[in-house]
Amino acid sequence: MAGVSAGDPAGTEPPGDGRPGGKRPAGRARRVVLGGLAALLVLGGCGFLHGAHRLESAESARNRALTDAAATDRVAGEVGNALARVFSYTPDGTAAAERSARDVLGGRAARQYQDLFAQVRGDLAEQRVTLSTRAVRTGVIELDGDRARLLVFLDQTSHRGDGEATTAAAQLTVTARLEDDRWRIVHLEAR
């Protein structure tokens, strides 16, 4: 007779190893393994959440230059145009460049410009120097709130009197601040 043990002729003994309740050691081991696996999954999930939080709070995640194309284009355009205006002048027309400088420069950049222009002003009329500047490429390195850092490549063409034009390239690192809904250059550094 299959299923009937020698100690239970009627076959009423529960299946298993003969222990009360029919619990097998393999069933207990299975529950321990499943409990350990569940704990491991919970710990792994917590680790992933922590890693995601660190990525969101990293410097690169706060840098809008990497995520906000409209704001990046705006600051690049305003700063590039401002630099073209303040570094373009004629021997008879320095007033426009100086007015532009008062509008778009602030802080240390304004002082740097005043010092530079004081040195150049005397030579302008005497040597009849005309300088034309245009921003060739403007890259926003960092954009965080009301502060931006940019790398700007300029082409500058100068004429002395009736002589031939000379073109030179310039590279600046620029720090700008958003003030009254306008980007103002507050620091200039030649590269």
pLDDT tens digits for 138-159?
999 999 989 999 999 999 999 8
Q: What per-residue string of b and e applies to 79-115 under the rule 16 or more CB within 10 Å gives b?
A: bbbbbbbbbbbebeeeeebbebbeebbbeebbebbee
Nearest to 187 by CA among 107, 98, 79: 107
Q: What is the pLDDT of residues 107-136, one digit of tens each?
A: 999 999 999 888 877 777 777 888 999 999
Residue ranges making up the domain that contains 151: 65-190
The domain total for the chain is 2
Pairwise CA distance, residues 104 & 174, whole Å: 12
- Inside any domain, residue 146: yes
- Other beta carbons within 10 Å of 28: 10
The pLDDT of residue 55: 55
- Inside any domain, residue 138: yes
121 and 78 together in one domain: yes
Q: pTM of this prediction?
A: 0.66
- Inside any domain, residue 127: yes
133 and 88 together in one domain: yes
The pLDDT of residue 150: 97
158 and 111 together in one domain: yes
86 and 130 together in one domain: yes
91 and 185 together in one domain: yes
Ranges under pLDDT 70 in the chain = 1-25, 47-48, 51-61
Task: Tell whether the torsion through CA atoms of 38, 42, 48 and 52 is positive or negative.
Answer: positive
The pLDDT of residue 17: 53
The pLDDT of residue 188: 94
**The tokens of 66 are what?**
């990497």
- Inside any domain, residue 99: yes
Nearest to 94 by CA among 125, 134, 133, 126: 125
Domain's final residue, options 9, 38, 56: 56
- Inside any domain, residue 13: no
- Inside any domain, residue 8: no
Task: DSSP for 78-146, please give it.
Answer: HHHHHHHHHT-B-TT-HHHHHHHHHHHB-HHHHHHHHHHHHHHHHHHHHHTEEEEEEEEEEEEEEEETT
The pLDDT of residue 147: 96
